[in-house]
Every structure is written in structure tokens, then in C-alpha cells.
Amino acid sequence: MAFAETGKLVEIKLETAWQTIDLAQAITERVAESSGFEEDDIHKIAMSVREGIINALHYGNRMQREKTVFLDFVFEPERLVIRMTDEGNGFEASHVDDPLSEENLLKTSGRGLLIVQAFMDDMHVGRGPNGGAELTMAKLFPKRFEKGEEG
Ligand SMILES: Nc1ncnc2c1ncn2[C@@H]1O[C@H](COP(=O)(O)OP(=O)(O)O)[C@@H](O)[C@H]1O
Ligand SMILES: [Mg+2]
């Protein structure tokens, strides 16, 4: 678990371009793998980052090339925290339509954040230093050494 020494931080600056989506996903897979996560969790974490990055590029940076997305990995003692910050106007999670309510069920939009919520242990929408959206998500490290506990 060389990568996952507690307190270590990895900061990545990504350009606003389509290739950034696959790149961010691939980087996340490597970081999650090096942190000791199993295949299933690696996939969930990488898919969550993919959804977050797509939103950051599309809704945040509006695909404007000169804008940037920051992707940070923070290794806390018990969990991997991933933060994505864009240079858009930000948004309030409470203002987003609930994709599970009856009138929204047939809409194809609105499932990205739902995926993040389902796949990660924690999710938070905040604002970055420049007013853009800051999506924070966290996944608990696998408990390998504790017997008699689920998960
Ligand atoms: N980085 C962002 N900046 C601004 N608004 C965002 C951002 N990410 C998400 N949103 C808002 O939250 C909504 C829900 O996002 P999501 O669940 O991924 O659904 P979808 O991308 O299909 O619209 C978006 O429609 C958008 O209004
Ligand atoms: Mg989305």
C-alpha cells in the first residue's frame, strides 16, 4: 500500500477535453488499486469519478478549453477521499431534481450523482475557491485484518 500512506495527497490538474474523461478514470483505477481496493470497488470508484468529471467538464467548465478541473486524492486513515473542482458556477445539491421521484423516472438525465451516492460511502457537493462546483466523495478502505466483521 505504498500509495496509501495516511495523509498523502495526490493533486492532478486536468484540461477541459474529451480525453480527460478516460484519463481521469484510468488514473483513478490505478490509485484505487494501489490503495488496496478490490476489483468491484475499483470499478465503483472509477465510475463515480467518471460521472463527476463528465459533469465538471460539461456543466462546470462548459467544455471551454482554457478551464481546468482539479482531481485530488486524499488518503485519510480509514478512507480514500476524492475531490473534483471545476471552474464553473457551482450548484446546490438540494436544487437538483430527485431522479427517483415519479415525475422524473422517465428522464435519462440525473443519474450521475445517484450513481456516485450508491457506489461511494460519502458524497458532498460544495464550492471550490473560484466558485465552481467541488464534488467530494469517499470510500472506506477495505477491512482486511479485522475478523468477524462484514464488508
Ligand atoms: N459540476 C457541476 N456544475 C454545475 N452543475 C452541476 C455539476 N454537476 C452536476 N450539476 C447539476 O446536477 C444535475 C445532476 O447531475 P447528474 O446526476 O450527473 O445528472 P445529468 O448529468 O444526467 O444531468 C445536473 O443536471 C446539473 O444541473
Ligand atoms: Mg452527469
pTM of the model: 0.91
Q: What is the pLDDT of residues 9-43, one digit of tens each?
A: 999 999 999 999 999 999 999 999 999 999 999 99
pLDDT at 100 over 90: no
Is 2 within a domain? no
61, 67, 91: residue to mutate for ligand 1 pocket, most atoms within 8 A of CB: 91
Alpha helices in the chain (DSSP H): 19-34, 39-55, 112-119
Under a CB-based contact definition with an 8 Å cutoff, are residues 2 and 35 in contact?
A: no
pLDDT score of 8 = 80
Domain tally, the chain: 1
- Going by C-alpha positions, the residue among 88, 24, 80, 83 that lies closest to residue 59 is 88
Average pLDDT over residues 76-83: 96
User: What CATH number has the domain bearing residue 22?
Assistant: 3.30.565.10
Nearest CA to ligand 1 atom 1: 56
How high does pLDDT run on average in the chain? 92
Residue 64 placed within a domain = yes
Return the higher-pLDDT residue of 60 and 109: 60
For 35-144, where are the alpha helices, taking DSSP H only? 39-55, 112-119
pLDDT tens per residue across span 104-139 = 888 888 899 999 999 999 999 999 999 999 999 999
Range of the domain at 122: 9-140
Order of strands across the sheet that contains 68-75: 9-15, 68-75, 79-85, 133-140, 122-127
Q: Does the CB atom of residue 117 touch ligand 1 within 6 A?
A: no
For residue 145, the CA-to-ligand 2 centroid distance in Å is 36
The answer to whether residue 145 is domain-embedded is no
The answer to whether residues 69 and 20 touch, using CB atoms and an 8 Å cutoff, is yes
Cα 114 to ligand 1 centre (Å): 10
Tell me if 47 is assigned to some domain: yes
Q: How many CB atoms lie within 10 A of CB 110?
A: 14
